[in-house]
Amino acid sequence: MPDRIPFNKPYFTGKETEYIETAVKSGHISGNGEYTQKCHQFFESKWGIKKALLTTSCTDALEMAAILLNLQAGDEVIMPSFTFVSTANAFVLRGAKIVFCDSREDHPGMDENTIEALITEKTVAIVPVHYAGVACDMEKIMGLAKKHGLFVVEDAAQAIDSYYTFSDGTTKALGSIGHLAAFSFHETKNIISGEGGMLAINDEQFIKRAEIIWEKGTNRSAFFRGEVNKYGWVDIGSSFLPSEVIAAFLWAQLENLESIQNRRKIIWERYHSLLHNYFNLITIPKYATNNFHIFYINCNSNIERSKLIKKFREYNVISVFHYLSLHSSRYYKSKHDGRELVNCDRYSDCLLRLPLFFELTEMEQNKVVEIIKNFIKEN
Ligand SMILES: *Cc1c(COP(=O)(O)O)cnc(C)c1O
């Protein structure tokens, strides 16, 4: 069997264990210590996020967002069907009804032009997912939200270090535009901490309550700042904050953001130059940037994709697809209103992600590309 080329291999910068040791020796390994503060400050100063709060996952950050919006049973939330389950689950847990919208034809992100027709009196929020770190049209989405009095929660799980440029020329980081946003540091993302995430709060009205929800429904954060002289139970909440061990790991990654991104850029662009003659590859809209999170190809059919995955496996190369459309999932099918979402189904059937990680070598990449080229010749 040839040497295995995995789909993903977590990259370690080398400082992770040193910082974890520092955290351990400091005697403070529960949450909200020095490394957590460093990470918060990084996001707030670099990307203009009003208030950052590390969480134990992006899933948790989305759940915090759903609590902050005070959703009532029957409230509606609009989001793409082509996304990870957590995007929807967080709101379903609060009793909300999910109204799924289709993907764009040229990109798996939500089709911004279909959103307005889905807005009703019950709509509370729009949840754009920046698929592959490529921005949804945030000017359009924020405009709709303003017009209809809605909140925007960005699922920025894949969107670290990616940007959106408004028509007046101002550029903002993804995750700093919506009222709230959620990032992921799961080991499959660009910047990792094993499991991990962050809630970004850009609308100040949510900051105080977010800290309370983060600390199990108590005003413990205010207590430690000396703002109140005892702390107690003041709201609902949960244990959303990660330990300092995780924050220390994350800090080692954030310090190396630039080199990690540069390496991913080289690999992504190499794939692009070697494969663009064979596939209709992603087009990055003018207002968006690429953060090199995912490189995918679009197969012509589900059968063709299965054959190619099998071919990769014969050479010990792991390629993966996602997502199974949420509107036709076992859990949500009967709750969906029956609208067909054809672009979403097509990406579900045909999109295939190629190995992309810091340590992927040029030789390994050549092998992946060769397999594809031979596959095309034989089929
Ligand atoms: C990875 C991912 C999530 C979940 O992130 P976790 O940190 O694993 O909870 C949510 N949404 C999208 C779009 C993702 O890619």
pLDDT tens-place string over residues 148-206: 999 999 999 999 999 999 999 999 999 999 999 999 999 999 999 999 999 999 999 99
DSSP state string for 42-55: HHHHHH--SEEEEE
Domains of the chain: 16-255 (3.40.640.10), 257-378 (3.90.1150.10)
Residue carrying the six token digits 């190809």: 297
- Band (367; pLDDT cuts 50, 70, 90): very high
pLDDT in tens, 303-323: 999 999 999 999 999 999 999
Do residues 200 and 175 touch, judged by C-beta distance below 8 A?
yes
Where does residue 205 rank: exposed (0-12), middle (13-18), buried (19+ CB within 10 A)? Answer: exposed
Mean per-residue pLDDT of the chain: 97
Determine the number of helices (DSSP H) and then strands (DSSP E) in the chain: 12, 11
Question: Angle, nearest 10°, between helix axes 58-68 and 85-92?
Answer: 30
* Neighbouring residues of 158: CB distance < 8 A, sequence distance ≥ 6: 130, 131, 132, 133, 184, 189, 190, 291, 293, 294
Query: 193 C-alpha to center of ligand 1: Å?
Result: 13
Query: 230 C-alpha to center of ligand 1: Å?
Result: 36
Find the helix or strand (DSSP H, E) in which 154 lies. strand 151-155
Query: 264 C-alpha to center of ligand 1: Å?
Result: 19
With a pLDDT cut of 90, the percent of the chain lying above it is: 97
List C-alpha distances in Å: 103 to 145, 251, 347: 19, 34, 8
Q: Which of 8, 59, 64, 130 to mutate to test the pocket of ligand 1 (most atoms within 8 A of CB)?
A: 59
Query: 197 C-alpha to center of ligand 1: Å?
Result: 9
Give the residues surrounding ligand 1 with Cβ less than 6 Å away. 57-59, 83-84, 86-87, 129, 155, 157-158, 184, 186, 197
Model pTM greater than 0.95? yes
Q: How far apart are CA 54 and CA 36, in angstroms?
A: 7
Q: Which of 62, 84, 240, 293 to mutate to test the pocket of ligand 1 (most atoms within 8 A of CB)?
A: 84
| pLDDT at 1 exceeding the cut of 90 | no
Q: How far apart are CA 6 and CA 180, in angstroms?
A: 34
| pLDDT at 53 exceeding the cut of 90 | yes
User: Annotated catalytic sites, by residue?
Assistant: 189
